[in-house]
Amino acid sequence: MSKNLTVLAKNLIDGKNFANLATLMSDGSPQVTPVWVDREGDTILVNTAIGRTKQRNISADPRVALDIFDQENPYSNASIRGRVIDQSQKGADEHIDKLAMKYLGKDKYPFRQPSEKRIILKIRPETITP
């Protein structure tokens, strides 16, 4: 069941804060990656490249967990469990540039590899603490 993000979670996502994204490997073991985050309303957006471990993992099992904390005060944090409900290449190149501006102050994402194809992972929150 979908949950609305709390005010704290929205503020953390809207700020220049990193999240740790946990996915499940094929053997059931956890895999955690620091990620840039964004949102559309209560849907959390993570941008990655097709074929990366997190993208392969959620293609097999869409369950994820995110922990995001205020870079200035790590005791201000939110933990979110949910599911990836969509993977979309549409707008992904523009989205990674938007995130590069938010996190790096750069107009274009500077780490892009020539062969990579960007994708947006859309996450529907199911449990949010606090």
**What Cα–Cα distance (Å) separates residue 24 from each residue in 19, 34, 40, 61, 74?**
16, 15, 24, 7, 25
- Structural domain contains residue 1: no
- Structural domain contains residue 61: yes
Structural domains of the chain, count: 1
- Structural domain contains residue 24: yes
- Structural domain contains residue 2: no
- Structural domain contains residue 52: yes
Q: Model confidence over 69-117: pLDDT tens digits?
A: 999 999 999 999 999 999 999 999 999 999 999 999 999 999 988 899 9
Q: Given this model, what pLDDT does residue 130 score? A: 82
Domain coverage including residue 33: 7-129
DSSP string, 41-106: TTEEEEEEETTSHHHHHHHH--EEEEEEE-SS-TTSEEEEEEEEEEEE-TTHHHHHHHHHHHHH--
Q: Given this model, what pLDDT does residue 99 score? A: 98
- Structural domain contains residue 59: yes
pLDDT category at 2 given cuts 50, 70, 90 is confident
pLDDT category at 118 given cuts 50, 70, 90 is very high
Q: Model confidence over 11-67: pLDDT tens digits?
A: 999 999 999 999 999 999 999 999 999 999 999 999 999 999 999 999 999 999 999
Q: Given this model, what pLDDT does residue 3 score? A: 86
